[in-house]
Amino acid sequence: MQFYFFMDRIKLASKIFSIQLIALFVYSSVMAQEKAKPKTEKVKIIADKVWNIDFITSIDFPQADLAKRFGTSYRIGVGIKHKSQNNWLFGAKFEFITGNKMRDDSLLINLKTTQGAIITQSGQLYNVGTFQRGYMASVQIGKIFPFWQLNKNSGPMMLGSVGFMQYKINLFDKDNSFPQLRDEYIKGYDRLTNGIFIEDFIGYQYLAKNKLINFYAGLNAVYGFTQGRRDYLYDLKRSDAGNRKDIMLGFKFGWVLPIYKKNTEETYY
């Protein structure tokens, strides 16, 4: 039995060796034909080194602790990214947060009348406007994955950010009519919160070859590890210094102004 097993191994080895010889012969023939052809000029497309100036807009839908306080919010900002020839991205951005949908029903409850307004120092009833205001500053790293040979600067993009975020409730008192909302008193109502955040973005970046239309768009998720910074809330009669988990899910669009450092086409022979 061992003899037949050994012979089968020899036959299999000989077949593999024969296939390798045939493949080597075919490869040698093809290479010989290629060498016999006259050399022609070719164009190799490579990615550019680009500095991107980004004008950013986002719409965000709050989740977790943030959803208990605010509704849909918006971001506008500016950023700068460097794109290497390997399509790695490195940069930074700054964005303002704005929104006008409040879900914190207890805010100003100790100042409002049964009609839902607040009495001014002159005895009139006025409503106080409440808005979400804040900002986010971060550094970024990511990569573009080009699928098309003719445009190495465009393709699906993944981008990660880490930075600092801060937001609060802006109480709008146009005529400065409420002494209860001035100076140090307003700190008992504005819900000032800040902390570290990370952001994930997945989308698509397009940089036109004619350099006229340049943008990126996609979905983003923000995870904020924040903390309330007010020692005492007048309406709730307690501290707001606890840890929070603030999450935003949304859509981001960026209009890009590219500054190219190298031409995309290199000629070789």
Q: What is the pLDDT of residues 75-113, one digit of tens each?
A: 999 999 999 989 999 999 999 999 998 887 677 766 666
Residues 6+ apart with CB under 8 A from 19: none
C-alpha 57/C-alpha 79 separation (Å) is 11
Distance CA 168, CA 133 (A): 6
Average pLDDT over residues 45-73: 91
Residues 86 and 175 in one domain: yes
Among residues of the chain, what percentage have pLDDT more than 90?
47
Same domain, 8 and 122: no
58: Cβ contacts below 8 Å, ≥ 6 apart: 74, 75, 76, 95, 220, 250, 251, 252, 253
Do 8 and 62 belong to one domain?
no
What the block records as the tokens of 54 is 């980004």
Based on its alpha-carbon atoms, the radius of gyration of the chain, rounded to whole angstroms, reads: 31
Question: Could you give the number of structural domains in the chain?
Answer: 2
Helix (H, G, I), strand (E, B) or coil at 3: helix
Return the ∠ at Cα 39 (arms to 34 and 42), rounded to 5°. 105
Beta-carbon neighbour count of residue 154 at 10 Å? 21
Q: What is the mean pLDDT of residues 186-190?
A: 85
Q: How far apart are CA 181 and CA 206, in angstroms?
A: 48
pLDDT for the residue numbered 47? 72
Residues 59 and 29 in one domain: no
Residues 96 and 20 in one domain: no
CA-based end-to-end distance of the chain? 60
Q: Using the Cα atoms of residue 98, residue 102, residue 108 and residue 112 in order, give the sign of their dihedral.
A: positive
In the predicted structure, residue 220 carries a pLDDT above the cut 60:
yes
Give strand ranges (E) for 100-186: 118-119, 125-126, 129-144, 155-172
Distance from the Cα of residue 93 to its chain's centroid: 10
Q: Which pLDDT value is given to residue 198?
A: 97
Q: How confident is the model at residue 266 (pLDDT cuts 50, 70, 90)?
A: very low
Three-class SS state of 56: strand
Written as six digits, the tokens of 158 are 């993944």
List residues bridging with 59 in a β-sheet.
Answer: 74, 251
Full domain range(s) for residue 83: 42-268
CA gap 65, 193 in Å, rounded? 12
Query: What is the pLDDT, as a whole number, of residue 48?
Result: 81
Region of residue 243 (phi > 0: left; psi between -120 and 50: alpha; otherwise: beta): beta
Same domain, 205 and 139: yes
Asked if residue 46 and residue 33 are part of one domain, the reply reads no
Q: What is the mean predicted confidence (pLDDT) over 215-232?
A: 95
CATH number of the domain bearing residue 55? 2.40.160.20
Note whether 16 and 76 are same-domain residues. no
Using the predicted structure, report yes or no on whether residue 248 has a pLDDT greater than 80: yes
Q: Do 147 and 97 have their domain in common?
A: yes
Q: Are residues 136 and 10 in the same domain?
A: no
Say how far apart CA 262 and CA 167 lie, in whole Å: 41
Which element (helix H / strand E) includes 242? none
Strand partners, 142: 89, 159
Pair 136, 111 in one domain: yes
In the predicted structure, residue 247 carries a pLDDT above the cut 60: yes
User: Could you tell me the pLDDT band of residue 244, with boundaries at 50, 70 and 90?
Assistant: very high
Segment 239-264 shows an average pLDDT of 88
Cα 182 to Cα 179: distance, rounded to the nearest angstrom: 5
**25 and 47 belong to one structural domain:** no
